């Protein structure tokens, strides 16, 4: 192990007292490998167990809090009969030494057409063929907030160490904060502050459930996307105001969803610093920040931690190289697998559904033999 990588392998203690064995987190990535009824599959348990032995914390792909707000191939946490499968998943992750975090989500207008597509307002996504969603009623909104609380209770009963609220990537929590998708004029929208109402009430409900049901410290994290390309859309100024409020909510971490941790603001911040650096400078002393995006090599990880953030999340690199942490810790960075071979699926425990996605999207993953 070289001296430069030592900081990422040092333990880190979250605000609630839970200690992570190192600063490396497995990022949540869609795999579409759950069963048709939303139950956890053997394939996804093997996939996660293969990658949990090195990281300090593993965040699962999102589990839906309602069946109508989920996606095909996605796990659900919407009913108690699914707790045994979730428990098997949590146990598999924890047995390898990682803290197990269940990401929970409602897809809102991003769910597949055909069902009851809902959102903060009746505004479609800006893409070809987008369906106009139905605006949620006040009572439906409070029902979804309760559903997040119930999913959290199930995560606790299943033995997870925490939950991550998926407020990023255009899903329903994000839709309520966004001025593009939220055009409401009631208590759920209309101003920047009112657009924060849904995520803040949701956080409060989840924390209430944790206080009522968790017998030991339980992690509550929040994932967000700092900007949107649409106009109107979330700007860096909006996000800085939002994280200022989030930092006072008693969260255990903020997870900043980025394609590249080096990215700089497109609007709303007259600054040459990266988005991560701006967020870390503003709230890093009050809530731990996780950075993610294009972290593939040990040098990338060192650079990301150099921005001041205490935790880094790795996604695709851990799918390609499940032993990433072990090899870096042993000074074997030169042995890191940097691309997939078409014969790798079984040895890497990659589910069929994810493998098909990888091969179907050129450039998403480096695959040997592809141009």
What is the dihedral angle through the alpha carbons of 59, 65, 67, 69, rounded to the nearest 10 degrees? -90
Residue 129 lies in a domain: yes
Q: Which of 151, 143, 138, 20 is nearest to 74 (CA)?
A: 151
Residue 371 has pLDDT above 60, yes or no: no
Least confident of 35-44, 113-122, 209-218, 228-237: 113-122
Residue 107 sits at the vertex; the CA angle it makes with 101 and 113, to the nearest 5 degrees, is 145
pLDDT of 255 above 80: yes
The verdict on residue 119 lying in a domain is: yes
Domain assignment of residue 180, given as a range? 3-338
Pairwise CA distance, residues 7 & 181, whole Å: 40
CATH number, position 291:
3.20.20.70
Distance CA 58, CA 166 (A): 15
pLDDT for the residue 147? 98
Would residue 212 count as lying in a domain? yes
Domain for residue 206, yes or no? yes
Residue 366 covered by a domain: no
Average pLDDT, the chain: 96
C-alpha span between 93 and 45 (Å, rounded)? 8
CB of 313 within 8 A of CB of 291? yes
Q: What is the pLDDT of residues 172-184, one digit of tens each?
A: 999 999 999 999 9
* The pLDDT of residue 152: 99
Q: pLDDT-derived band of residue 4, with 50, 70 and 90 as boundaries?
A: confident
Q: How many domains does the chain have?
A: 1
Separation of alpha carbons 254 and 287, rounded Å: 7
| C-beta separation of 100 from 84 below 8 A | no
Band of the pLDDT at 1, cuts 50, 70, 90?
low
**pLDDT tens figures, 49-64:** 999 999 999 999 999 9
- Segment 274-292, tens digit of pLDDT: 999 999 999 999 999 999 9
- What's the pTM value of the predicted model, to 2 decimals? 0.98
Contact 151, 83 (CB under 8 A): no
Residue 350 in domain: no
- Judge whether 360 lies within some domain: no
Q: What is the DSSP string of 270-317?
A: --SS-HHHHHHHHHTTTS-EEEESS--SHHHHHHHHTTT-SEEEE-HH
Question: What does the CA dihedral 165, 264, 30, 112 come to, rounded to 10 degrees?
Answer: 80
* pLDDT band (50, 70, 90) for residue 202: very high
Residue 105 lies in a domain: yes
């Amino acid at each position: 192990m070289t001296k430069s990588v030592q900081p990422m392998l040092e333990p880190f203690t979250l605000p609630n007292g839970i200690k992570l064995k190192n600063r490396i987190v497995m990022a949540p990535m869609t795999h579409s490998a759950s069963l048709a009824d939303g139950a956890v599959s053997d394939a996804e348990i093997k996939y996660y167990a293969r990658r949990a032995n090195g990281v300090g914390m593993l965040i699962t792909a999102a589990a839906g809090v309602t069946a109508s707000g989920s996606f095909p191939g996605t796990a659900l946490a919407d009913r108690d009969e699914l707790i045994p499968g979730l428990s098997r998943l949590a146990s598999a992750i924890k047995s390898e030494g990682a803290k197990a975090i269940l990401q929970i989500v409602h897809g809102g207008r991003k769910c597949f057409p055909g069902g009851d597509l809902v959102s903060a307002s009746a505004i479609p996504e800006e893409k070809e063929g987008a369906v106009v969603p139905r605006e949620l009623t006040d009572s439906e909104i409070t029902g979804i907030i309760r559903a997040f609380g119930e999913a959290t209770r199930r995560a606790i009963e299943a033995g997870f160490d925490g939950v991550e609220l998926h407020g990023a990537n255009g899903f329903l929590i994000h839709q309520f904060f966004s001025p593009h998708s939220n055009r409401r004029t009631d208590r759920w929208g209309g101003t920047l502050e009112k657009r924060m109402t849904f995520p803040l009430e949701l956080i409060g409900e989840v924390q209430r459930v944790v206080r009522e049901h968790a017998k030991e410290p339980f992690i509550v994290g929040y994932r967000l996307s700092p900007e949107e390309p649409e106009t109107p859309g979330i700007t860096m100024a909006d996000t800085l105001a939002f994280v200022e409020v989030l930092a006072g909510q008693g969260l255990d971490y903020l997870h900043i969803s980025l394609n590249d941790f080096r990215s700089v603001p497109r609007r709303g911040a007259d600054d040459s610093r990266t988005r991560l650096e701006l967020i870390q400078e503003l709230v890093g002393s009050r809530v731990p920040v996780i950075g993610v995006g294009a972290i593939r090599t040990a040098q990338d990880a060192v650079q990301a931690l150099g921005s001041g953030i205490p935790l880094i999340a790795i996604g695709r690199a851990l799918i390609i190289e499940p032993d990433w942490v072990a090899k870096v810790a042993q000074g074997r960075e030169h042995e890191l697998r940097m691309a997939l071979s078409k014969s790798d699926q079984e040895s890497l425990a990659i589910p069929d559904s994810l493998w098909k996605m990888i091969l179907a999207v050129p450039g998403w993953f480096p695959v040997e033999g592809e141009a």
